[in-house]
Amino acid sequence: MFITKKALPRRTFLRGVGATLGLPLLDAMVPALSALAQTAANPVKRLGFVYLPNGVARNFTGINYWTPAGEGTGFELSPILSPLAPYRNRLLVVSGLAQHQADAFDDGANGDHTRGTSSWLTGVHCKRTEGADVRNGVSADQIAARYLGQTTALPSLELAIDLNFLGGQCENSYSCAYLNTLAWSSDTTPLPTENNPRIVFERLFGDGGTLEQRLAQAKRNQSILDSVTEDLAKLQASLGSRDRTTVTDYLDSVREVEVRVSKLMAKADSLGDLPNAPVGTPDDFTELVDVQFEMIALAFQTGQTRVASMRMIKEASMRTFPAMQVDEAFHPLSHHGEDPAKQEKLARVQTYQIERFAKFRCCDPFRGAGDLDVSRMG
């Protein structure tokens, strides 16, 4: 064994014509005997929050849809959480919590969805206002980002599935800013979410995100990886076998996501515009959810960020789920009025949401990423 103080720079990029591509953490980037070396005793810390809107279908008509039966390691997974069975030895379900800052207090009865979204990660009762004078609190993800994001290109990543809106469809007496994000970097600064996976991909790997830049990229015949082939060959020749395997697996993941993003946006590209989301229920909604999860996986793997949040769909969403044989809008289903048929449909949709989360966790390409937290309070 040879010990050397030389190491590949952590900020190593593959460079091609008009493109740069960051790399995951490699053994060759860690100086020998360094205290920063990633080991089982000193893993890279990552934190993710996934938000399920409108609460969860818990115990209805004698069926325990959400809360597992039993305590300790011998618990029995509930129907909604059953897709997480392969990871039960890494799963912790915490019950008995409540976020009372989402309560109305003196604000009036209207606004439950707004307060539920805004207080979930802040623990603060948001200011009731429709103007620009919003006030909430610093969210948990941003507190973590101040520590975990000190050495990453992006302190945090904020994603969504449904598009955001600036007016209309918001609850009376509350700014839309409260519904549009989970993340607040200060008590007056909400962080915007992104639901377009191409913009997320380009934010992670370069080439910008404006309409003109996206259209220019769509017309290119070569992918990012094709443009860095020469630099990649030189890098691979200087790495050990373990690092070569890591880089190869990583680049395969990048290319797969690149292809999926291009396919996902192909219809919009052909029209010369890239809308934030299709009108109504798109046929490719499941693929959109999966690609957004893969954006988080790639961001974690490449070290672009160590903190991420994603809102599965918006509170008060009127989306339907025909693929799950649910033709009623999601929001009204949450107001089921103890109707067993509506309760069962609500549980069916939320089982689907956990299936998408479980697929992401199952297929993550990164090492030592730790478990993402999927929960809902309020």
How far apart (Å, rounded) are the C-alpha atoms in residues 310 and 308? 7
Q: How many CB atoms lie within 10 A of CB 160?
A: 24
Residue 107 lies in a domain: yes
User: In this predicted structure, what is the pLDDT of residue 195?
Assistant: 87
Residue 304 lies in a domain: yes
How far apart (Å, rounded) are the C-alpha atoms in residues 339 and 22? 52
Instruction: Kindly state the average pLDDT of the residues 328-348.
Output: 89
23 alpha carbon, distance to own chain's centre: 20
Residue 39 lies in a domain: no
User: pLDDT tens-digit profile of 195-241?
Assistant: 888 778 777 765 544 555 555 555 554 566 676 667 777 788 888 88
Residue 154 lies in a domain: yes
Residue 51 lies in a domain: yes
| Pick from 342, 326, 340: nearest CA to 62 | 340
pLDDT band at 361 (very low <50, low <70, confident <90, very high): low
Residues facing 5 on adjacent strands:
none
User: In this predicted structure, what is the pLDDT of residue 134?
Assistant: 94
pLDDT band at 301 (very low <50, low <70, confident <90, very high): confident
Number of separate domains in the chain: 1
Q: Residue 358: give the domain boundaries.
A: 44-195+276-375
- Lowest-pLDDT choice from 83-92, 244-253, 308-317: 244-253
Instruction: Kindly state the average pLDDT of the residues 19-45.
Output: 60
User: In this predicted structure, what is the pLDDT of residue 153?
Assistant: 75
User: In this predicted structure, what is the pLDDT of residue 118?
Assistant: 95
User: In this predicted structure, what is the pLDDT of residue 215?
Assistant: 53
360 touches 294 (CB < 8 A):
yes
User: pLDDT tens-digit profile of 265-294?
Assistant: 554 454 344 333 223 333 578 888 988 898
pLDDT band at 189 (very low <50, low <70, confident <90, very high): very high
User: In this predicted structure, what is the pLDDT of residue 169?
Assistant: 62
Task: Give Cα separations from 167 to 92, 126, 163, 289 (angstroms).
Answer: 38, 18, 12, 25
Instruction: Kindly state the average pLDDT of the residues 70-95.
Output: 90
Chain-wide mean pLDDT for the chain?
76
Task: Give Cα separations from 136 to 142, 156, 188, 309 (angstroms).
Answer: 13, 19, 6, 17
Query: Within 13 Å of residue 128, how many CA atoms lie on the same side as its CB?
Result: 16
Per-residue b/e over 275-308, b at no fewer than 16 CB within 10 Å?
Answer: eebeeeeeeebbebbbbbbbbbbbbbbbbbbbbb
Query: Which amino acid is it at 253?
Result: S
Residue 348 lies in a domain: yes
State what percent of residues in the chain have pLDDT above 70: 68
User: In this predicted structure, what is the pLDDT of residue 49?
Assistant: 95
Residue 335 lies in a domain: yes
User: pLDDT tens-digit profile of 122-167?
Assistant: 999 999 999 889 999 999 999 999 999 887 778 899 999 887 765 5
